[in-house]
Amino acid sequence: MSAVLEAHGLVKRYPRSQTNAVDGLSMVVREGSCFGLLGPNGAGKTTTVEMLEGILTPDAGMIHYRGAPLGKSFQERTGIQFQDTALQEHLTVRELLGLFGALYPSPLDPAELAVLCELGELLDRDPKTLSGGQRQRVFLALALVNDPDVVFLDEPTTGLDPQARRNFWELARSIKRRGKTVILTTHYMEEAYALCDEVAIVDSGRIIAQGMPDTLLKEHFDGVTIELPKADFKAPQTGVPGDIVERGDTVELMTSQVDAALEALKRGGSSLAHLRVRARTLEDLFLHLTGRELRE
């Protein structure tokens, strides 16, 4: 698959800031894929996508769309769902779709958009009266109004309840099925895992790991996570294979040698009655790479 969007050495520094918000970041987004920027709040994800969108100008580095620098036509080929945005007031969803459609040379039919984003009953309502999940669907429809090749979704499910989030994931998948390239930022690792073909884990304006989610996990981890309630855990005298991390009321043991680890725990006097074993996640990976939690 060919590269649709390519960035090299992106740097962005905000005035009165000691450090670069984005600090020499490079990435390649392949045609028709879903590329995820995963990282904690303040990692530089939004600054990065806003440079990719052409909204912000990088202080250094280059961005190419299909092999050429971003030009005027780029805006006609992209759709953006911003993290923080507002719409003109007192307009219905239908009127907003009409307004934004009129700004592009060949917009999608509003009826088709309504089906695609499940806006059926919402068309004649004022977005102010909609729930968070409904409003995000409206914003998604506006991002798709020009039938773009590349769709940017900046933290689209932040603040949504789990059901609305899963509903939104379905919409995102259906967009991908239409052959569109999706660039997603999120601080939900399960979202990145559910939607992305490729993720870049961002911290302090740099990519610290990048690849297919499963490949990344395999690269960095071999094995599973064993969880014990903190009260049941007693640190063994002899060595335990793997890392031990405390998370709230839980102690986690990340290991590839499950038998040896369980032996060691039993020898140390830990109770294994409430033991749980789970697969490693991108969240574990972030902790592993940075020593910090993804959501702090």
Q: How many residues bind other proteins (CB under 8 A)?
A: 27
The first and second tokens of residue 232, run together, are 């049941």
Shortest separation between residue 65's beta carbon and other proteins, angstroms? 14
Choose between 77 and 206: whose C-beta lies nearer to other proteins. 77
142 touches other proteins by CB under 8 A: yes
Nearest-angstrom CA–CA distance, 93 and 98: 9
Q: Which of 11, 28, 55, 244 binds other proteins (CB under 8 A)?
A: 55
Binding map of other proteins across residues 75-104, x = CB under 8 A, - = no contact: xx-x-x-x-xxxxxxxx---x--xxx-xxx
Q: Which residues 6+ apart lie within 8 Å of 99 measured at CB?
A: 88, 91
**For residues 87 and 194, which CB has a smaller minimum distance to other proteins in the complex?**
87
Distance from the first to the final alpha carbon of the chain: 36
Nearby residues of 126 by Cβ (< 8 Å), 6 or more positions away: 89, 90, 91, 92, 93
Counting contacts by CB under 8 A, is residue 168 touching other proteins? Answer: no
- Quick one: which segment of 23-31, 74-82, 110-118, 216-224 binds other proteins (CB under 8 A)? 74-82
Q: Is 1 in the site for other proteins (CB under 8 A)?
A: no
The tokens describing 224, both together, are 């599973």
Place of tokens 């059901």: 163
Cβ at position 214, least distance to other proteins in Å: 33
What type of residue is 19? T
Task: Provide the pairing of β-strand 181-186 with 34-38.
Answer: parallel
Taking the complex as a whole, the smallest distance from the CB of residue 123 to other proteins amounts, in Å, to: 15
Shorter beta-carbon distance to other proteins: residue 44 or 242: 44
Task: Answer for the pair 35, 182: CB distance below 8 angstroms, yes or no.
Answer: yes
Place of tokens 């600054």: 47
Q: For residue 65, state whether it binds other proteins (rule: CB under 8 A).
A: no
Q: CB nearer to other proteins: give 22 or 217.
A: 22
How far is it, in rounded angstroms, from Cα 119 to Cα 186?
24
The site for other proteins (CB under 8 A) is made up of 53-55, 72, 75-76, 78, 80, 82, 84-91, 95, 98-100, 102-105, 142, 146
